[in-house]
């Protein structure tokens, strides 16, 4: 690990899947079921593009169908499938230590799926959420993280985004936020656009100060 880094911020904007919880097994399983149901070629081998909104994937795979109807099918499948969901290292301790007004979740998932996964994982539900249906353009567009910063009442430059996927890192950078990438879904090379890369959130400690938050962490080598 590298030397300890300390930075100040007003707020933290967390992605959910791959940052707070791991749901990749359920995502791959259910998107393949969905793809088979809708006659997508090579459905059994389909690899879901991580970090993208379900509605955008539906439109990509089957632009000819009713997108909202297709969205409801995949959402129903995923909400019902949380058996192998797991909380990622350091997450529960970190979230429970944060002042509620200083953090938000900014996710490509629909709000219903977000709540189902947080509750299944036993994680706190934040007061402030930006979910997939709350934006017109999903990641890698900067809209989700700009709205997240606005929801907290801060400038994007005053917020740190925590992401695990290149699309989310790109969204955070384009929004004007500083970005911390967490390894696990993609390689450090694929996340190189982030300001920092950490091995896991076990390597992040956050302290409340009179002016906001102090983040201390070691970057991955």
Question: Whose CA is closest to 100, among 201, 218, 219, 213?
Answer: 213
Helix pair 67-79, 24-37: axis angle to 10 deg: 140
Catalytic residue of the set 3, 15, 141, 164: 15
Catalytic residue of the set 17, 81, 186, 203: 17
Contact 128, 95 (CB under 8 A): no
Provide the CB-side half-sphere exposure for 176 (13 A, CA). Answer: 11
Helix (H) or strand (E) holding 152: helix 143-152
Contact 216, 13 (CB under 8 A): no
Tell me if residue 64 is catalytic. Answer: no
Tell me if residue 84 is catalytic. Answer: no
Contact 132, 108 (CB under 8 A): yes
Helix (H) or strand (E) holding 119: helix 111-121
Q: What is the Cα–Cα distance from 159 to 13, expressed in whole angstroms?
A: 7
Contact 67, 174 (CB under 8 A): no
Contact 195, 170 (CB under 8 A): no
Catalytic residues: 15, 17
């Amino acid at each position: 690990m590298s030397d300890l880094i300390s930075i100040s911020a007003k707020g933290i904007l967390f992605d959910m899947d791959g940052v707070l919880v791991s749901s990749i097994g359920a995502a791959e399983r259910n998107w393949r079921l969905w793809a088979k149901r809708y006659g997508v070629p090579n459905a059994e081998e389909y690899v879901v593009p991580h970090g993208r909104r379900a509605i955008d994937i539906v439109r990509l795979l089957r632009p000819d169908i009713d997108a909202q109807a297709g969205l409801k099918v995949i959402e129903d499948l995923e909400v019902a499938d949380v058996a192998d969901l797991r909380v990622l290292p350091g997450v529960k301790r970190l979230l429970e230590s944060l002042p509620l007004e200083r953090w938000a979740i900014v996710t490509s998932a629909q709000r219903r799926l977000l709540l189902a996964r947080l509750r299944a994982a036993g994680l706190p539900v934040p007061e402030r959420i930006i979910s997939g249906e709350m934006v017109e353009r999903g990641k890698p567009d900067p809209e989700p993280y700009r709205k997240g910063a606005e929801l907290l009442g801060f400038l994007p430059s005053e917020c740190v985004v925590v992401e695990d996927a290149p699309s989310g890192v790109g969204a955070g950078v384009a929004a004007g936020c500083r970005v911390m990438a967490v390894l696990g879904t993609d390689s450090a090379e694929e996340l190189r656009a982030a300001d920092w890369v950490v091995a896991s959130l076990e390597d992040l400690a956050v302290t409340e100060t009179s002016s906001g938050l102090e983040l201390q962490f070691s970057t991955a080598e």
